């Protein structure tokens, strides 16, 4: 039974979506239970898979039983690299499905079931991306997740959201096409689409690995994924798309889409090209770390300029993507940078979820979109604000939240690799986050200074969005439950950072090239 | 110049063409002001990738990847639209040593029964085009159609809400409504 | 103007990188290139398909066997992509009830909708042609094992037959034949059929989409024919979904989500 889990992870959301499509339009109340049931199945499956992976080693699943020769069929793989990410996706999906209960259906009640169909298909796409062991299959599932997210963003009622979805669609399709082109170059030179097989061919045929076509394949795959993850110069689609879409959509997309793309980048670096090829033959690590430093600084500065909470969080995502890309490319001897990057995928998913949920509740219950609208929020909604504070402290990097530990590992990698500019950028970004969030705390705790008043002059409010009534209703349990859970998860990931990092690092033991390359690879102290 | 073309472009003609088509699409995608023109650029862009993939699977003189009922390639002339167009040069330039094509495709044996027969004779894989890029591109075409459909729906929505599909007018509209609000 | 400059720079950089790589490629049409014949030391996937897939599946059309069996998982999600696109379009466009104050959408008076003679010609032609199109679509779906064709192609043709009705008469005429409820059902059933073949294999103790094990259920005498029959089954499922979604996309786009008069 356990060996069927990889198929189960994609089938459960698929059947959920089909069921909602079939009966959801009659009674919208059945949508949520179906979604919750199928997502719970995936959560249980993901946990079971992780347990299996960490006790028995990686799970390989050959769809259709086409195992030999490698690459004729589709290969799914769960190993130490993606097992924890699967749990993270499933957890975020379950929590967001709670959050979506009341939120969706307020403006477009008749479209509730479409939301759940797209939501479940998006989960399917993310699970499929994560377990894919075939380079082309990854493209297909990237498209599943992209198409559904275009739909989810555009189905909100704000017209800026519609336009943002269009831009996202253009950028996203170009990114996916670049990825496809890169895979084509790899197929042209190696004759295979299976990641393991490509890796083996590149490892045994140095003349292929050094060819121009393989380098260009890597460039296009990398740029394609960078567009998808909104790495700094290519981030243009993200802030508008995430801040003008419905809250429950933002709460799901923001924690997961960019993180899964970062995972894909790391997967391609390790499992397709191999770290030795990426770090030694190509040797671009210095250049890309510098790009990441620029991304971190630019994201922080742009976030500082925003007055709208969601926009500010969006630019912080851009900075966080810089953390992860930079960490993955540090190329330090003991791979602490890569470890930190993988740990930060989990940590950032939890932090972003918490902050976006809180921002969603501010809008929903208090009509507060702007930083200044948070006036006295500690008194009005102490629980929401407390969870927001935990998320914010984690963004700043205060122990024992997970944000501190991910920065700790990233900085350790940066010091080992001698990339002091990266270390400095991380510290500056922490500082900027501190300024940002303490400004919010001040407003929420002590109230607004009269001088700043209700300065809506340069807001980007849409006429129709302003009509949200400031009913100041207490937040519903469906919002509070996922929010508080995510805050607890932030602390838990932080406290249990040692075991989590140990689990992540079991993956590096399995890598023959790395042990060859870094003979000094040691596990946790 | 002629030498350059002969050495670098002629053997890779399809690959040059695909790059050029792709760049036309990319240029339209970025530079055009009208959203529908951008979408046309996007479609051209995606189609160029299809050309690239299909070019990879080409084998000189090979026929379509459909076998006869004994597991061999169908003789080139049977499947060409214009058999007189010198396919005897290409199709039989590298004849398979044990071609076993004597049984005409019409002689349907029981499909389960001719297993051993199919194994006894090997067809020449050089005469059958590579099926894998075709399969991949069937997927990519479908994905492209799906993306285009969603993009048209979104642009229809944009037209309903902004009353225009020109990018600069939409930007102005957004700016003016932002300063009003 | 700025965007044109930017576009030119982007195109120049991307194009020159791509062309730089071209000189490294194996020659066009080389049957022994890595893509066509693999690299030394590893088994070529493409040669495996050419040499072995007929023995494995008894399907002469290699593209069909690779599409629906070896890479059947891809194809299933390709169908899901179509389904997701359909659902996304409904979510974006579909207007339930007539909430918006739409400009009067009287059909434009022109020779096609008004002039009796033209209408007779177009209507009669469509009436004659549609059954032929639909029959041909079924042939394309069913004959995918032996000739170019299969679920996607046949589904698109079948969807086109409904679209031509909508073009010749009006959208309602087409919706009378395939209503909104029914096309959503059809799309769901299509994917369900596909997934069912996979799940049945799991129930019988093999991996997802391992059709060979379905032999007893399909009354065939070996895994090869079971694969062949299952492929036909999943192609039918694909055709259902594609038909439904193609028509649904047209219906929603042409009527701005109102599903009323159409163009």
Interchain pair A201, C41: CB under 8 A: yes
Q: State the Cα–Cα distance between residues C240 and A64, nearest whole angstrom.
A: 22
From A80's Cα to the closest Cα of chain B, the distance in A is: 29
Q: Is residue C168 part of a domain?
A: yes
Q: Which two tokens stand for residue A348?
A: 């950032």
Mean pLDDT (chain B) is: 75
Note the pLDDT of residue A474.
Answer: 67
Among A357, A487, A378, CA closest to A440: A378
The burial class, CB within 10 Å (0-12 / 13-18 / 19+), for B153 is buried
Q: Is the pLDDT of residue B152 over 90?
A: yes
Interchain pair B57, C35: CB under 8 A: yes
Q: Is residue B88 part of a domain?
A: no
Domain coverage including residue A500:
284-454+461-509
Cis ω for the linkage preceding C207 (within 30 of 0): no
Under 8 Å between Cβ of C244 and C183: yes
Cα→Cα distances A35→A28, A85, A88, A156, A262, Å: 12, 20, 17, 20, 26
Interchain pair C42, A201: CB under 8 A: yes
Minimal-distance CA residue of chain C relative to A120: C84
Note the pLDDT of residue A29.
Answer: 82
Q: Is residue B46 part of a domain?
A: yes
From B165's Cα to the closest Cα of chain A, the distance in A is: 10
Note the pLDDT of residue A158.
Answer: 80
Q: Which two tokens stand for residue B100?
A: 């076993």
Sign of torsion over alpha carbons A98, A104, A110, A111: negative
Among A415, A303, A312, CA closest to A356: A312
Residues in C closer than 8 angstroms to B157, CB to CB, are 92-93
Q: Is residue C251 part of a domain?
A: yes
Q: Is residue B101 part of a domain?
A: no
Q: Is residue B28 part of a domain?
A: yes
Residues in C closer than 8 angstroms to B122, CB to CB, are 51
Note the pLDDT of residue B41.
Answer: 94
Q: Is residue A140 part of a domain?
A: no
Minimal-distance CA residue of chain A relative to C195: A11
Interchain pair C97, A152: CB under 8 A: no
Question: Which residue of C33, C55, C85 is in closest CB contact with B118?
Answer: C55
Minimal-distance CA residue of chain B relative to C50: B125
Note the pLDDT of residue A26.
Answer: 81
Q: Is residue C24 part of a domain?
A: no
> Which residue ranges in chain C fall short of pLDDT 50?
99-106, 108-112
Domain coverage including residue B146:
1-59+128-181
Q: Is residue B115 part of a domain?
A: no
User: Tell me, what CATH number does B146's domain have?
Assistant: 1.10.287.3510
Domain coverage including residue C185:
60-96+109-263
Note the pLDDT of residue B35.
Answer: 93
* Helices A477-495 & A336-366 angle (0-180, nearest 10): 160
Residues 6+ apart with CB under 8 A from A516: A276
Q: Which two tokens stand for residue A129?
A: 């991306």
Q: Is residue A3 part of a domain?
A: no
Under 8 Å between Cβ of A272 and A135: yes
Domain count, chain B: 1
Q: pLDDT tens across A133-179, in order?
A: 999 999 999 999 999 999 999 887 688 889 999 999 999 999 999 99
SS (H, E, C) A166-228: HHHHHHHHHHHHHHHHHHHHHHHHHCCCEHHHHHHHHHHCHHHHCCHHHHHHHHHHHHHHHHH
Domain count, chain A: 1
From C95's Cα to the closest Cα of chain B, the distance in A is: 11
Q: Is residue C65 part of a domain?
A: yes
DSSP symbol at A81: T
C224 or B84: which leads in pLDDT: C224
Under 8 Å between Cβ of A163 and B158: yes
From B21's Cα to the closest Cα of chain C, the distance in A is: 10
Report the residue count for chain C: 263
Under 8 Å between Cβ of C28 and B15: yes
Sign of torsion over alpha carbons C230, C234, C237, C239: negative
Q: State the Cα–Cα distance between residues A252 and A122, nearest whole angstrom.
A: 9
Backbone angles phi, psi at A102, to 5 degrees: -95, -25
Domain count, chain C: 1
Q: Which two tokens stand for residue B141?
A: 């075409």
Q: Is the pLDDT of residue B89 over 60?
A: no
DSSP β-ladder status, A75-78 and A59-62: antiparallel
Mean pLDDT of successive 10-residue segments in chain A (525 residues)?
88 94 84 92 94 90 86 89 92 91 63 89 94 93 93 83 91 94 92 90 87 92 92 85 85 90 93 87 86 93 89 92 92 86 93 92 83 80 90 90 91 90 93 91 76 44 43 72 92 91 84 49 37
C74 or B92: which leads in pLDDT: C74
Q: Tell me what ipTM this predicted complex has.
A: 0.91
Residues in B closer than 8 angstroms to C31, CB to CB, are 59-60, 62, 125-126
Q: State the Cα–Cα distance between residues A191 and A175, nearest whole angstrom.
A: 23
Q: On the CB side of A146, how many CA atoms lie within 13 Å of its CA?
A: 33
Q: Which two tokens stand for residue C120?
A: 């007779």
Tokens 């790009």 correspond to what residue?
A291
DSSP symbol at A60: E
SS (H, E, C) C238-252: HHHHHHHHHHHHHHH
Q: Is residue B5 part of a domain?
A: yes
Minimal-distance CA residue of chain B relative to C67: B135
The answer to whether residue A147 neighbours chain B at the CB level (below 8 Å) is yes
Residues in A closer than 8 angstroms to B26, CB to CB, are 174
The answer to whether residue B16 neighbours chain C at the CB level (below 8 Å) is yes
Q: State the Cα–Cα distance between residues C65 and C228, nearest whole angstrom.
A: 8
Note the pLDDT of residue B146.
Answer: 93
Q: State the Cα–Cα distance between residues A65 and C69, nearest whole angstrom.
A: 10
Phi-psi region of C41 (alpha: psi -120 to 50; beta: other; left: phi over 0): left
Q: pLDDT tens across B107-135, in order?
A: 344 344 344 444 434 568 888 889 999 99
Q: Is residue C36 part of a domain?
A: no
Q: Is residue C256 part of a domain?
A: yes
Q: Is residue C41 part of a domain?
A: no
Q: Which two tokens stand for residue B138?
A: 């069937």
From A414's Cα to the closest Cα of chain B, the distance in A is: 37
The answer to whether residue B66 neighbours chain C at the CB level (below 8 Å) is yes
DSSP symbol at A271: I
């Amino acid at each position: 039974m356990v060996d069927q889990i990889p198929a189960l992870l994609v089938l459960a959301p698929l059947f959920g979506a089909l069921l909602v499509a079939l009966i959801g339009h009659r009674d919208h109340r059945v949508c949520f239970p179906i979604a919750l049931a199928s997502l719970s199945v995936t959560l249980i499956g993901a946990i079971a898979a992780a347990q299996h992976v960490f006790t028995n080693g990686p799970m390989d699943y050959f769809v259709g039983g086409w195992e030999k020769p490698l690459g004729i069929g589709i290969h799914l793989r769960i190993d130490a690299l993606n097992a924890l990410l699967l749990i993270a996706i499933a957890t975020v999906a379950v929590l967001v499905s709670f959050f979506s209960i009341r939120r969706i259906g307020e403006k477009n009640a008749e479209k509730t079931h479409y939301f759940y169909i797209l939501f479940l298909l998006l989960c399917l796409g993310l699970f499929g991306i994560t377990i894919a062991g075939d380079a082309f299959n990854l493209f297909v599932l990237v498209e599943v997740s992209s198409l559904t997210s275009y739909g989810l963003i555009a189905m909100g009622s704000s017209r800026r959201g519609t336009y943002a979805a269009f831009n996202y669609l253009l950028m996203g399709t170009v990114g996916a096409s670049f990825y496809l082109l890169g895979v084509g170059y790899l197929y042209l030179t190696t004759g295979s689409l299976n990641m393991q097989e490509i890796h083996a061919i590149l490892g045994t045929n140095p003349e292929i690995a050094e060819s121009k076509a393989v380098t260009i394949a890597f460039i296009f795959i990398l740029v394609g994924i960078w567009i998808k993850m909104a790495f700094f110069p290519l981030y243009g689609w993200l802030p508008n798309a995430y801040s003008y879409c419905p809250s429950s959509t933002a709460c799901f997309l923001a924690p997961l889409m960019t993180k899964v793309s970062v995972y894909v980048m790391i997967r391609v670096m390790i499992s397709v090209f191999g770290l030795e090829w990426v770090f030694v033959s190509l040797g671009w690590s210095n250049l890309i770390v510098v790009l990441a430093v620029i991304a971190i600084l630019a994201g922080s500065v742009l976030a500082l300029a925003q007055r709208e909470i969601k926009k500010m969080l969006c630019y912080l995502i851009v900075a966080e993507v810089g953390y992860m890309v930079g960490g993955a490319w540090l190329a330090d001897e003991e791979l602490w940078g890569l470890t930190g990057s993988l740990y930060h995928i989990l940590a950032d998913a939890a932090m972003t979820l918490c902050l976006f949920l809180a921002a969603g509740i501010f809008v929903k219950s208090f009509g507060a979109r702007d930083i200044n609208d948070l006036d006295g929020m500690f008194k009005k909604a102490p629980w929401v604000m407390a969870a927001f504070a935990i998320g914010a402290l984690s963004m700043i990097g205060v122990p024992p939240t997970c944000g501190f530990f991910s920065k700790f590992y990233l900085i350790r990698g940066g010091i080992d690799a001698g990339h002091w500019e990266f270390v400095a950028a991380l510290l500056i970004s922490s500082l900027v986050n501190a300024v940002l969030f303490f400004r919010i705390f001040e407003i929420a705790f002590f109230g607004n200074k009269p001088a700043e008043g209700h300065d809506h002059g340069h807001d980007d409010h849409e006429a129709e969005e302003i009509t949200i009534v400031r009913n100041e209703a207490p937040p519903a349990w469906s919002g509070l439950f996922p929010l508080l859970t995510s805050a607890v998860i932030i602390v838990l990931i932080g406290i249990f950072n040692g075991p989590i990092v140990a689990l992540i690092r079991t993956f590096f033991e399995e890598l023959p090239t790395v042990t060859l390359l870094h003979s000094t690879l040691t596990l946790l102290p | 110049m002629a030498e350059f073309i002969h050495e670098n472009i002629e053997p890779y003609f399809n690959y040059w063409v695909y790059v050029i088509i792709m760049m036309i699409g990319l240029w339209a995608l970025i530079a055009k002001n009208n959203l529908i023109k951008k979408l046309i650029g996007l479609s051209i862009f995606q189609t160029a990738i299809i050309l690239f993939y299909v070019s990879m699977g080409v084998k000189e003189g090979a026929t379509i990847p459909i076998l006869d009922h004994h597991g061999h390639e169908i003789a080139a002339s049977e499947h060409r639209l214009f058999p007189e167009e010198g396919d005897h040069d290409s199709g039989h330039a590298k004849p398979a040593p044990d071609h076993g094509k004597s049984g005409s495709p019409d002689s349907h044996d029981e499909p389960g029964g001719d297993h051993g027969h199919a194994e006894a004779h090997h067809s020449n894989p050089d005469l059958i085009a590579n099926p894998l890029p075709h399969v991949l591109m069937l997927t990519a075409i479908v994905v492209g159609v799906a993306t285009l459909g969603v993009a048209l729906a979104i642009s229809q929505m944009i037209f309903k809400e902004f009353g225009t599909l020109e990018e600069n007018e939409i930007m102005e509209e957004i700016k003016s409504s932002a300063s009003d609000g | 103007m700025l965007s044109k400059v930017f576009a030119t720079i982007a195109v120049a950089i991307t194009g020159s990188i791509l062309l730089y790589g071209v000189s490294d490629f194996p020659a066009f049409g080389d049957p022994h290139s890595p893509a066509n014949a693999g690299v030394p030391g590893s088994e070529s996937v493409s040669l495996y398909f050419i040499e072995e897939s007929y023995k494995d599946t008894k399907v002469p059309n290699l593209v069909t066997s690779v599409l629906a069996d070896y890479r059947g998982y891809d194809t299933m999600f390709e169908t899901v992509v179509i389904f997701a696109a359909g659902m996304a379009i409904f979510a974006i466009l579909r207007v339930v009830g007539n909430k918006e104050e739409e400009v009067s959408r009287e059909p434009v008076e022109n020779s096609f909708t008004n002039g009796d003679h033209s209408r007779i010609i177009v209507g009669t032609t469509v009436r004659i042609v549609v059954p032929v199109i639909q029959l041909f679509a079924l042939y394309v779906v069913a004959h995918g094992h032996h000739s170019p064709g299969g679920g996607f192609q046949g589904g698109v043709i079948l969807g086109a037959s409904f679209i031509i009705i909508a073009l010749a008469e009006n959208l309602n005429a087409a919706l009378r034949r395939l209503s909104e409820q029914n096309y959503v059902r059809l799309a769901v059933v299509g994917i369900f059929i596909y997934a069912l073949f996979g799940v049945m294999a799991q129930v019988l103790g093999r991996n997802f989409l391992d059709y060979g094990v379905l032999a007893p259920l399909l009354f065939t005498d070996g895994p090869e024919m079971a694969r062949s029959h299952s492929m036909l089954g999943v192609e039918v499922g694909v055709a259902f979904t594609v038909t439904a979604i193609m028509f649904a996309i047209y219906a929603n786009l042409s009527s701005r989500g109102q599903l009323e008069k159409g163009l």
